[in-house]
Amino acid sequence: MFTQALGTTTTGFEGEFRFEADLQGLGTSVGRHPSANLLPVFNSSYRRLVELVTGYGYTQFCTRGVTTALPTTAVETGETYAVINVGTAGDPGTVPPVRQIKMLDVRDTSGRWRTLPEVTLLQLRDFASTSRGTPQAWCWLTAPSISSGTTLVAGQIAITPTPIGGSYALWEMNELTLPSATTDVYLYHTEDWRMWHMYDAMARICGARDKDSARRLDFILSRLDPDVEGSPAWNVRNQAPTAAGSKTMTRASNYRGVGGLWGR
C-alpha cells in the first residue's frame, strides 16, 4: 500500500493529472479548471475505484464491526425473520456510516462461526421451514435514509430464520474520509489502482467537459477497459484475490451418472 497527496497545480496527484491531461496553466480561480472544481471529480473517481476493487474481492476497505448479540424476536408475531439496524453512527462498526455490507458472520450458541449467504428479498420465505434458531441467510430490507435533509436514519437487514441466540459481526465498507487539503492523501494498493483513478477522472474532464479529440479520449478509455490486456483496469481485475484450493468437484468411485447409486 502507498499514498499520494492531493497536491497542487504542480505537485502530487493534481499536478500529475494536469500534466497527463494537458491542463497545465488552467488552474487559477478564473481559469477553465480551477483546483476547487477538480477536487470533487478526483474524489468521486476515487469512490468509484474503491467500489470497483471491493466488488472484485479486494478487502482493504472493509471493516469488521464489533461482535453483537443476535436479535431473537421476529419482526412481528408469526414472521420467520428478525431485523438488524444498519447505517447510523450508533450501530456496531458503522462509524462513519456504512456504505456497503460485504459479509455477515454469525456465531451460534456452541461458539462456531459461519458466514451467511446474501439472498434476494424474494428468497426470504425460502427459509421459513428451516428449524428455528439457526440463521441461514440475510438480505437487505430498507436502505438508510435521510430525514429533515441532514439526519441519517438507520436501514434494516433481515436475518432468517429468527435466531434463538448467538451473535453476529458485519463486514462493511464504510464511508470514506476524502481529501480536502493539498496535504491530504489517497491510499492505493498498487500503481494500477492509482492510474485507474487518474484515467477515470481524466475521462470525465477531457471527454465529457472538454470534448477533446476522439483519439485522446479513445486512449483514456482503453486504459479503463478491463478487456485491454496490460491496461490498469485489466491489471486491477486480474490481480484480484481468488479462492484458494480446488475448484472442481470430486465424484465418488461408484458414481453412475444421473441418480448415482440411487439410479440403479
Q: Do both 29 and 127 map to the same domain?
A: no
Q: Do both 35 and 68 map to the same domain?
A: no
Q: Which three cell numbers stand for residue 181?
A: 487539503
For the chain, residues with pLDDT lower than 50 are: 90-95, 248-264
Domain carrying residue 215: 2-60+177-238
What pLDDT, on the 0 to 100 scale, is given for residue 262? 41
Q: Do both 94 and 157 map to the same domain?
A: yes
| Reported pTM | 0.78
What pLDDT, on the 0 to 100 scale, is given for residue 200? 96
- How far is CA 187 from each of CA 12, 132, 170, 178, 258, rounded to the nearest angstrom? 13, 44, 23, 10, 52
Q: Do both 85 and 160 map to the same domain?
A: yes
What pLDDT, on the 0 to 100 scale, is given for residue 131? 59
Q: Do both 209 and 145 map to the same domain?
A: no
How many domains does the structure of the chain reveal?
2
What pLDDT, on the 0 to 100 scale, is given for residue 150? 66
Q: Do both 68 and 158 map to the same domain?
A: yes
Q: How many CB atoms lie within 10 A of CB 134?
A: 15
Rounded Cα distance, 212 and 91, in Å: 46
Q: Do both 11 and 77 map to the same domain?
A: no
Contact call for residues 49 and 43 (beta carbons, < 8 A): no
- Residue 47 dihedral angles phi and psi, to the nearest 5°: -60, -45
Q: Which residue has the cell 486491477?
A: 236
97 CB contacts (<8 Å, ≥6 apart)?
87, 88, 89, 144, 152, 174, 175
Contact call for residues 86 and 144 (beta carbons, < 8 A): yes
Q: Is residue 256 part of a domain?
A: no
